Structure 1
Amino acid sequence: MADALHYLELTALAARLKARDISALDVTRAQLDRIDAMDRDLGSYVHVMAETAIAEAKAADAEIAQGRYRGPLHGVPIAVKDLFWTKGIPTAAGTTLHRDFRPSEDATVVRRLKDAGAVILGKLQLTEGAYSDHHPLVTPPKNPWNAGYWPGISSSGSAVATAAGLCFGSLGSDTGGSVRWPSAANGLTGLKPSWGRVSRHGAFELAATLDHVGPIGRSAADAGALLGVIAGHDPNDPTSVFNPVPDYLAAAAQDVQGLRIGVDAAWNSDDVDVATQRVLADAIDAFRALGAGIVDVRFPDVMQAISDWTPNCAVEAAVAHEATYPARKDEYGPMLASLIEAGRALSALDYQKILLRRLALRGHVTALFETIDLLLIPVHPFPPVTLAMIQTLGEQPDLIAKLQRYTCPFDMTGHPTITLPGGASADGLPIAFQLVAADLDEATLVRAGAAFQRATSWHRRHPSLVSRRQH
């Protein structure tokens, strides 16, 4: 059963559960068996919540049988990044500092998943504090496509588990690219919503004004189904917006006829490798064939925003960790500690200048979306990243800037983006691209992503894990 089911899209599984063609209990047991068989090698889970998952699956089956269907997540096994509070379950946020922390309540997004009838399989590994590296005492998850390649940060476990068929979707967070990089590296669809679209209550902070909570799935429709449940105003997070939550699954059924897709040919080709440019060109051709209009645009220069992202993140991380840093400095890994130190050292004048530049960039990007509906860009300008390359980032600031070029600007402005698999490298590793939309217009991202995925099959490629299962 597991072999027949584990790579189903969430929305396809939901239809079978609703029709009672299969039980949530059988699917959940199959997922737990698969996790037990494979995750020793992959390392995507921090905690597997088998007992509660079985109970939630039994409850879902009973409710569905009684005609009390809650929606497209009812009975679907998913997992969440281990920075979202889960009542009574250790929630460490990738740290050793918080490994014994057991929240007394669920994060809002976890509560909403449970209210929707989802089965929570467990908590997924991440980088320390959701920053750029795993704690030295934490073993990073492995990319299921090839263990020698980067699985992405910081939602590494979320993407690895979803790509490997160890859950049917997951929740991550994105402060500088942390939904998009792992989704691209693992051949998945990741949706970074607008800032404020999803409550951050009960989520460990990295940088409050940059943190975005978003779903990782196998398709745009899957991401839309997840976002539709977790989005919406939350009184416990006064920064969450009151804007009504659209029907993302209805948006996924629409075509893209007449949509205006902006392309900055210069930005998309500036030191961008040939394979990535080919993926962009193929995506443009696909959207044009589907009836969208391609519009030449000039995107604002982002070099200052890329330079500003780290000190902006650093100040906010220093605030987030004020209770434990420097008091428990020795328990921090070197990367997160250095970020916090930089934040504590930045002057108020320099921080205010960053905030003013952020507002100006947001204004320029908002104006651009008066002329287009979507912007098409890379996720990063090079092909899939090896672990050897990532290990040199600390000595190559230019490489870090390239990695962040197409991601962190949209954390700085808060605009939503969707990451879509669009091709493969010569070695068969996934290559993705992004679509960006106007503030709070995630529905158009889901609409365009789903249309692209009806016309292509890149999102239906999956890693072969046979050799791992035999070990």
Structure 2
Amino acid sequence: MSLPSDLHYLEMHELSLLIRSRKLSPVEVTEAQLDRIDALDGELHSYARVTAELALEQAHVAEQELADGICRSPLHGIPLAFKDLFDTAGVVTAAGMPLHAQRVPTQDATVVARLREAGVVMLGKLQMTEGAFAIHHPDIAVPLNPWGSNHWSGASSSGCGVATAAGLCYASLGSDTGGSIRFPCAANGLTGLKPTWGRVSRHGAFEMAASLDHIGPITRSARDALFLLSTIAGHDPLDPTSQPTVCLEVPGIDDTFRGLRVGIDERWLSDGVDPVIQQALQQVMLMIRDGGGLLVSIRMPDTQAVSSNWEAHCGVQTAVAHADTYPLHANAYGPALSRLIDAGRALSGMDYQRILLAAQRFSGEADALLHQLDLVLAPVQPYAAPTYEQLADLAQDPEANRRLIQFTAPFNVSGHPCLSLPIGLTEEGLPIGGQFIARKGAEALLCRAGMAVQRVSHWHQLRPQGFS
């Protein structure tokens, strides 16, 4: 059969049905993806490296296995791409750092191994900020947001957001230490899941801040996010912090709000939040009510301390993660990551203990609140579709910078799962992101809420103009 004109924008669960019914082959799908990457990524810079030869080899294997009646998983034969901090055997993993441009792992990260076992085709490694902090290394081309090149593409999983939004992979695997799955999803009109800390193994993932790092999917729908999470989640003996539980399967998930209690803190959602984001959240509240959910007025625990402390909290752990190469190779580091590590190394033990106590307090208060509810609704960020110029101005204002992460970083500190999803557009036609937050271990509930929104809306189906 001829290839669909929107082949590159199919959701994974749609593509899976076409591949398993033999209406599409993994080889032709992979070839189409590689052609699209070749045509568009010279402009977008989303890939750190494309593994075309390996991808075609894996696609041929998948095609033969499926022809022989062997189906490894619903993901069998689907082309994905990975953020360049996941170890991939025989393929450079540089974590956005020229210092590691020749680093070739001999083993796969656990999440990569699980996806390979599931029959996924690896298109390549996606570009990211230096060491997964806020800024790209000066020698690295910044991935361009396909919705508008002057607008932020999100950090640190910038390449993941750009490639998935532009149809250069069907989904991607990212990481989130202060918002780095959720920011690219908000910027690029995507759906991303930051799981509960420990839900997904971190073995073989380049470390930024061990207690804050989360690994999760960046996709085009909540159904696809759960689709991917169900493959990568679960205990890993190589990561003793990983939890023994696994995620629920996709077919068992309801896609309505019926009976769900959703917490709304009107003050938190409006204080310093752009009006267009507030209006978009009101639309989601209507969907919740109309779908049989109950909106519950709540008071969120104070996020100011944990968001103010996040950079110092992260900096200490990042300094530990880079101890073998910094300050020994400090001249190879960019200014932003150097500043973070220097600040972490300079922080006193007593000051760090105060940060940990504030984190424990917030985590306990958030646990208590979320056990009384099913979900909490929040923005991803208070500023709608910021430009790079606006971000540069924010960087000069510590309070504005704290506000940028006030809805994301606290839940890296507490370890609670969050689902980011598109909830509207600005007047200029740029995506707006919102998120649901849930108690630990409730990823399936988050995806149910995302599917409920996406069942009655079309925001997740919108595509950037000029990249059809």
TM-score by length of 2: 0.98
Q: Work out whether residues 259 and 292 of structure 1, in 8 Å CA contact, stay in contact via their aligned partners in 2.
A: yes
Deviation for aligned residue 1:440: 1.1
Partner of 2:5: 3
Q: Indicate the larger mover: 320-329 or 350-359.
A: 350-359
Deviation for aligned residue 1:245: 2.8
Which of 147, 150, 171 matches 1:169? Answer: 171
Q: Partner letter of residue 8 of structure 2?
A: H
What is the CA–CA distance in structure 1 between the aligned matches of 2:181 and 2:294, rounded to whole Å? Answer: 28
Query: Alignment partner of 1:295: what SS?
Result: strand
Matched residues, number: 466
Deviation for aligned residue 1:40: 0.1
Deviation for aligned residue 1:465: 2.3
Which of 224, 230, 233 matches 2:232? Answer: 230
What is the CA–CA distance in structure 1 between the aligned matches of 2:325 and 2:148, rounded to whole Å? Answer: 37
Partner of 1:456: 457
Q: How does 1:308-319 map to 2 (within 5 A)?
A: 308-319=309-320
Q: Partner letter of residue 120 of structure 2?
A: A
What is the CA–CA distance in structure 2 between the aligned matches of 1:251 and 1:456, rounded to whole Å? Answer: 22
Q: Work out whether residues 2 and 34 of structure 1, in 8 Å CA contact, stay in contact via their aligned partners in 2.
A: no
Partner of 2:407: 406
What is the CA–CA distance in structure 2 between the aligned matches of 1:199 and 1:38, rounded to whole Å? Answer: 33
Partner of 1:321: 322
Deviation for aligned residue 1:253: 4.1
Q: Indicate the larger mover: 203-212 or 388-397.
A: 388-397
Partner of 1:13: 15
Deviation for aligned residue 1:319: 0.1
Partner of 1:380: 381
What is the CA–CA distance in structure 2 between the aligned matches of 1:389 and 1:254, rounded to whole Å? Answer: 37
What is the CA–CA distance in structure 2 between the aligned matches of 1:208 and 1:362, rounded to whole Å? Answer: 16
What is the CA–CA distance in structure 1 between the aligned matches of 2:164 and 2:408, rounded to whole Å? Answer: 21
Q: Work out whether residues 424 and 431 of structure 1, in 8 Å CA contact, stay in contact via their aligned partners in 2.
A: yes
What is the CA–CA distance in structure 2 between the aligned matches of 1:118 and 1:244, rounded to whole Å? Answer: 19
Partner of 2:61: 59
Query: Alignment partner of 1:391: what SS?
Result: helix
What is the CA–CA distance in structure 2 between the aligned matches of 1:4 and 1:379, rounded to whole Å? Answer: 29
Query: Alignment partner of 1:420: what SS?
Result: strand
What is the CA–CA distance in structure 2 between the aligned matches of 1:409 and 1:290, rounded to whole Å? Answer: 29
State the Cα deviation string for residues 400-455 of structure 1 (Å, max 9, x = none). Answer: 11110100000010000000101000000000100000001101001111111011
Query: Alignment partner of 1:431: what SS?
Result: strand
Q: Work out whether residues 259 and 292 of structure 2, in 8 Å CA contact, stay in contact via their aligned partners in 1.
A: yes
Q: How does 1:84-123 map to 2 (within 5 A)?
A: 84-123=86-125
Partner of 1:259: 260
Which of 7, 26, 29 matches 2:28? Answer: 26
- State the superposition RMSD in angstroms: 1.1
Deviation for aligned residue 1:274: 1.1
Deviation for aligned residue 1:67: 1.8
What is the CA–CA distance in structure 2 between the aligned matches of 1:56 and 1:2, rounded to whole Å? Answer: 22
TM-score by length of 1: 0.97
Deviation for aligned residue 1:349: 1.1
Q: Work out whether residues 8 and 168 of structure 2, in 8 Å CA contact, stay in contact via their aligned partners in 1.
A: yes
State the Cα deviation string for residues 11-55 of structure 1 (Å, max 9, x = none). Answer: 100111111111010000000000000000000001101111111
Deviation for aligned residue 1:396: 1.6
Partner of 1:135: 137
Query: Alignment partner of 1:3: what SS?
Result: coil
What is the CA–CA distance in structure 2 between the aligned matches of 1:2 and 1:142, rounded to whole Å? Answer: 26
Partner of 2:246: 244
What is the CA–CA distance in structure 2 between the aligned matches of 1:456 and 1:297, rounded to whole Å? Answer: 26
What is the CA–CA distance in structure 1 between the aligned matches of 2:309 and 2:327, rounded to whole Å? Answer: 24
Which of 194, 200, 203 matches 2:196? Answer: 194
Deviation for aligned residue 1:62: 1.3
Partner of 1:425: 426
Q: Work out whether residues 421 and 435 of structure 2, in 8 Å CA contact, stay in contact via their aligned partners in 1.
A: yes
Which of 117, 128, 139 matches 1:126? Answer: 128
Runs of 4 or more, structure 1, over 4 Å off, are none
Query: Alignment partner of 2:89: what SS?
Result: coil
Q: Work out whether residues 92 and 98 of structure 1, in 8 Å CA contact, stay in contact via their aligned partners in 2.
A: yes
Partner of 1:203: 205
Deviation for aligned residue 1:2: 6.7
Partner of 2:392: 391
The sequence identity of aligned pairs, in percent, is 50
Q: Work out whether residues 247 and 443 of structure 2, in 8 Å CA contact, stay in contact via their aligned partners in 1.
A: no
What is the CA–CA distance in structure 2 between the aligned matches of 1:465 and 1:39, rounded to whole Å? Answer: 13
What is the CA–CA distance in structure 2 between the aligned matches of 1:301 and 1:250, rounded to whole Å? Answer: 37
State the Cα deviation string for residues 78-115 of structure 1 (Å, max 9, x = none). Answer: 00000000001111000011110000100001101100
Q: Work out whether residues 133 and 154 of structure 1, in 8 Å CA contact, stay in contact via their aligned partners in 2.
A: yes
Query: Alignment partner of 1:216: what SS?
Result: strand
What is the CA–CA distance in structure 2 between the aligned matches of 1:191 and 1:205, rounded to whole Å? Answer: 19
State the Cα deviation string for residues 141-178 of structure 1 (Å, max 9, x = none). Answer: 00001101000000000010000000000000000000
Query: Alignment partner of 2:386: what SS?
Result: coil
